[in-house]
Structure 1
Amino acid sequence: MKKLIGIGAGLMLAASLITGCSGNSSQTEVTTAIAKSGRDLSSMVWQGTVEAMSTIDIMPETSGKVTAIIASEGQHVNKGDVIFQVDDTNAALSLQQAQAGYDAAQAAFGIAKKASEQNTNVAPAEIEYTDAKNNFARMQALYAANAISQVDFENARSRMDSAEAKLQAARNGQDGNYDSAKAQLDSAKAALDIAQKKYDDCAVTSPITGMITKINVETGQTVSPQDTGATVMDDSGEKVEIQVADTDIGQLAKGMPMDISLQSAGKTCRGSISEISAVCDSKTGMYTVKILLDADDSLHDTGLMADVRASVNEPSASVYIPSKCIFTDDDGDYVYVVSGEQAVKTPVTKGRKKNAYMEITQGLTQDNEVILQSSHSLEDGMKVRVLTVK
């Protein structure tokens, strides 16, 4: 009797185990994530320093003694304005000499050009050759009729050949005079340009429009092209450069608005991305991103540390989910939303990526529970059991 009871209990336990296993196998275990508003995601913050658009060190193009300081530190200058003057005495004399040489070469070229146009040297030779040629033709006819001797005939030929040679020499000489005069004029012009540049270089000018931040020379000081005479900062705007990791660069794009906070000054402003480096630094894996501050927000706080964030202006229907939740088939992108105990296949429209998250512009609302991982392949309407919510 005890043996029968034992067998019955064993059968009941086996049935219970079978039933339990059958119940678990009917549900797929899943891990889910909650769709969040873009504002709920922790925004990435990058740090940089407010800088001028550009800063240029100005070095004189010539050596010499500084005779005058024209501008002053803190002064706004336009491109081409003189900052300081280097002694131009010798340069002025060289310029006068070069100008005289150019004037003489120009006069000589004018004479050669006029002679070429009027055919001054060639015209008499052409007349002489034409006369000799016509005379030879007559003598040739008379010689054929035995009316003149062979000596007279050969003399006529000789005069014609001589006249032709003179004509060719006159043409060559006239062309040569013109070409020589033109070459001398070009050389004199080049010498004049060089002398003019050396004279102009004595006035050291600003290559950009901006503010002079430093003048490093004094009157009477001798300078050379190796010396930094002054520094000019482009004050038309400000920029911030940040270094962005290769894992985060995908969320940034040229023209994207950015929020900039200058905590030490208690100020905030806006800007936009103007440039993203095409390749990352091979050593750091970072991309350089340049942000231009909006003109109306130009704070003139060059040198201050800046906290930079991508501007968040999410529409109410825009939510974010982990990128791993999204699947794709021939019909497009979709996710599985947990509804009750079922996985519901739901089409979605993707927006922009933010770190490991993807924006969903259509198909989901905030607080939707989306399947992130599952123990089995998912199908629409499949029963699921949520193990973990992330």
Structure 2
Amino acid sequence: MKKVIQMLLRSSMKTKAVIIVAVITVAGFSFLGYQVKGSAKVQHTSDLKPAVDVMLLQRKDMTRQIELTGQTVPESQVDITAKYSGKIMQVNVGLGDHVAPGQILIVQDTSDVDAALAQNAAASRQADADAVESNATFDASYQKSQSDYQHSVINYQRYKRLYDIGATSKEALENAEQVMTAAESSMNSYSKQIVGGNAAAVESKQAARDKAHAAVDSLQNQRSDLTLRAPRDGVIGYRQAEVGMMAQTGQKLLSIVDNSNIYVDCSVSEQDIGQIVNGMPVDISIDSIGKTYTGRIIYISPSMDSKTQTFTVRIALDSRDDNIKTGMFARTNITVPLRRQTLFVPKEAVLSLNGTDHIFVVDSNNQVTDRVVKLGLRNDKSLEIISGINEGEQIAVTNLSRLKTGITVTPTTNDQ
């Protein structure tokens, strides 16, 4: 432009006029070209159709996935503990050994118990003898008192007849009466000692005998408890016992694990427990093994755990696998029904604006209509539609922010 001005200054009037006309012409054509280009650009933008995923609404059973995690547990795990303190004299099993019911596992020292048992056995025999002697003595004394009384009664009656005919003195009669009264008192004292068929003195001796017997029985049980036996089939899964060590009362020495059946115990929240029923089939994944097993729910706890605020559900595996060990992490997804034959859409297909929920319906001409809908149940991925759309209609699932009533879209199929 600077060069054009310099040329104008140096040129003649005629030349100046020609140059000015040429500049104006070029500027006009440039302006017209810009307008045409801009118009074409606007027209191209208006012809764009947003691409959206669409899905056809069909009535289906709406379900929900409940994810549970837990641990594998054995059929049984029994801890073998020392009931009494004592030195260990024998340990007959090692880790991994299979044991049968009644098999001797550990033997503790019984020498002190044997000595006490011998002493109490002697005391028990003495108590037996005392009870027999007491019973015999009482029976003899009681029978004698009865005999003395009967004899005194006969003697009194004889003196009474003699007195009546004047053959004896009144003093002799009174003496006979006193003897009879004394004999009766003696007999009555023995009679009053009898309670439930036995005399009190005899009962006391028999009680002492029973106490001595009980002491012997207790020591025999203690001696038996110093020999620890297997209560059931299983495998030794824990051992903390060696010959010569002193076992303390209540100390865990062995553990027997029975893996003949493996279960999975899971914790379930209050929100989900109502959807789970006994007998429900499930698939259980054990990540450490990399396998999935089939099973079924066999137990639902009747009350909530006060500490964890959850319920316990036990799952039984359908088949046994020796690779499964106690305490392995396991997980499962349980499918539970929410509503049968209802309409539901993915959560991303619903747009919430100003307290209302919207869905964009795409008709056969690929034109969009904004519908206000009412929502019902929901699960992790879907929302139930109670009203606002009908079965067989096609809805947009993606790119909702670019949609409004009346625009045309480019639909792609959504597999949900």
- The answer, yes or no, to whether TM exceeds 0.5 is yes
Question: Mean alpha-carbon deviation: is it higher for 283-292 or for 67-76?
Answer: 283-292
Aligned to 1:245: 269
Aligned to 1:189: 213
Amino acid at match of 2:103: D
Which of 263, 279, 283 lines up with 2:287 in the alignment? 263
Q: Is the 8 A contact 1:33 1:389 kept in 2?
A: no
The residue correspondences of 1:112-131 to structure 2 (distance < 5 A) are 112=134, 119-131=139-151
Percentage of identical aligned residues: 27
CA distance in 1 between partners of 2:158 and 2:281 (Å)? 97
Q: Is the 8 A contact 2:66 2:335 kept in 1?
A: no
Root-mean-square deviation (Å): 3.8
CA distance in 1 between partners of 2:387 and 2:175 (Å)? 117
CA distance in 2 between partners of 1:34 and 1:89 (Å)? 83
Closer, same or farther: CA 146–84 of 1 in aligned 2, 3 Å: same
Closer, same or farther: CA 320–223 of 1 in aligned 2, 3 Å: farther
Q: CA deviation at 1:108?
A: 3.6
Aligned to 1:36: 60
- TM-score, normalisation: structure 1: 0.65
Aligned residues: 301
Q: CA deviation at 1:80?
A: 3.8
Runs of 4+ in 1 over 6 A off after TM superposition: 383-390
Aligned to 2:401: none
The reply to whether residue 213 of structure 1 matches residue 233 of structure 2 is no
CA distance in 2 between partners of 1:146 and 1:279 (Å)? 98
The reply to whether residue 179 of structure 1 matches residue 203 of structure 2 is yes
Question: Mean alpha-carbon deviation: is it higher for 166-175 or for 225-234?
Answer: 166-175
Q: CA deviation at 1:298?
A: 7.1
Q: Is the 8 A contact 2:298 2:314 kept in 1?
A: yes
CA displacement, residues 275-321 of structure 1 (integer Å, 9 cap, x when unaligned): 32233346754322122334656764323221224489x9xxx9454
Q: Is the 8 A contact 1:34 1:389 kept in 2?
A: no
Question: Mean alpha-carbon deviation: is it higher for 251-260 or for 67-76?
Answer: 251-260
The residue correspondences of 1:1-390 to structure 2 (distance < 5 A) are 34-37=58-61, 41=63, 43-112=65-134, 119-143=139-163, 148-171=168-191, 172=193, 175-281=199-305, 285-294=309-318, 296=320, 300-310=324-334, 319-321=340-342, 372-373=386-387
Question: Mean alpha-carbon deviation: is it higher for 163-172 or for 290-299?
Answer: 290-299
CA distance in 1 between partners of 2:80 and 2:385 (Å)? 62
Amino acid at match of 1:155: N
CA distance in 2 between partners of 1:384 and 1:251 (Å)? 28
Q: Is the 8 A contact 1:271 1:291 kept in 2?
A: yes
CA displacement, residues 108-131 of structure 1 (integer Å, 9 cap, x when unaligned): 434555667xx4332232122111
CA displacement, residues 145-179 of structure 1 (integer Å, 9 cap, x when unaligned): 65543212211111111212332345549723421
- TM-score, normalisation: structure 2: 0.61
Tell me the SS of whatever aligns to 1:235. strand
Larger radius of gyration: 2
Question: Mean alpha-carbon deviation: is it higher for 103-112 or for 186-195?
Answer: 103-112
CA distance in 2 between partners of 1:321 and 1:46 (Å)? 26
